[in-house]
Amino acid sequence: MAEQKKDVTIVCFSGDFDKILAAFTMATGAAATNRKVTMFFTFWGLNVLKKKQGRAWLGQGVMAKVFNFLMGGRKNLPLSRLNFGGISPSLMTGMMKKHNVATLPELIEAAHALGIRLLACEMALHILELERDDLIEEVADVVGVATFLNESENGHIIFV
Amino acid sequence: MMKLLDITKETCPMTFVKVKLALARMDEGQELEVILNAGEPLENVPRSCEEQGYEVMSIEDCGDDKHRIIIKK
């Protein structure tokens, strides 16, 4: 008989490469060991979900366009330390491949295959003037904090 | 025909992820042969499969720290 395990919700606030990697590692590990997993992306974390993986002038106003350009997409996530002008994530990915550790794109693909729910924060999207269409199709929903709290009521909440 | 999955070169969490996804793609009653390393994969992969209601038919030591387990969906 399957044991009832607590759900896991991971709040991805950070857009740092290493922290997002940790979040997806925990998420896929939890889902693969039979836990219901939700990932809620807000602010810097939204960069992971942008359809444009590089820098793009998204949004309508000048400020939003500049912010979105500077924040970039999945390919611009910086390492939280020793970023060396943005070269470190590529170096780190090379080291991960060498040691057979799943890379970020592989973990994101696994997360989708495992049925992990990816949610985007409505408020952060609003501030950055991003639309649902600016995000990857794997995003299940755009929600506010009340929905997020309701969905994670009886589970663990991990803040990254 | 039994499916074979070698996860000896994989690291956490892809060890569990690959087994879970392989089982999800199989039909009821089909068997999956998994080659895995001692340590965390050996301790947790069979347990995780049993939690999902699958049957772990056998666990066999292949030497060189590797093990073969047969899981029935």
Instruction: Read off the pLDDT of residues A17-53 as tens digits, 9 standing for 90 and up.
Output: 999 999 999 999 999 999 999 999 999 999 999 999 9
Which residue segment(s) compose the domain that A145 sits in? Answer: 8-159
Contact B13 A28 (CB under 8 A): yes
- Our count of domains for chain B comes to 1
Q: What is the interface pTM, i.e. ipTM, of the complex? A: 0.84
What is the C-alpha separation between B43 and B12, in angstroms, rounded?
13
Residue A46 forms part of a structural domain? yes
CB pairs under 8 A between A and B: 50
Q: Which residues of B touch A110 (CB under 8 A)?
A: 13-14, 17, 21
Provide the CATH number for the domain around residue B25: 3.30.110.40
Most distant CA atoms of chain B, gap in Å:
32
pLDDT tens string, chain B, 73 residues long: the values are 789 999 999 998 999 999 999 999 999 999 999 999 999 999 999 999 999 899 999 999 999 999 999 999 9
Closest C-alpha among A138, A109, A115, A106 to residue A41: A138
Nearest-CB residue to A114 (from B10, B20, B52): B20
Average pLDDT of chain A is 93
- Our count of domains for chain A comes to 1
Residue A2 forms part of a structural domain? no
Q: Which residues of A touch B10 (CB under 8 A)?
A: 100
Per-residue pLDDT of A53-96, as tens digits, reads 999 999 999 999 999 989 999 999 999 999 999 999 999 999 99
Which residue segment(s) compose the domain that B56 sits in? Answer: 3-72
Which residues does residue B71 pair with via DSSP β-bridges, in sequence order? B32, B56
Residue A1 forms part of a structural domain? no
Which residues does residue B60 pair with via DSSP β-bridges, in sequence order? B68
Provide the CATH number for the domain around residue A136: 3.40.1260.10
Is B43 near chain A, with CB under 8 Å?
Answer: no
Output the CA–CA distances (angstroms, integers) from residue A65 to A16, A55, A68, A126, A160, in the order listed: 20, 10, 5, 13, 26
Q: Let me know: does A100 contact B9? Beta carbons within 8 Å.
A: yes
Burial of A73 (0-12, 13-18, 19+ CB in 10 A): buried
Residue A3 forms part of a structural domain? no
Q: How far is A34 from chain B (nearest CA, A)?
A: 7
Residue A132 forms part of a structural domain? yes
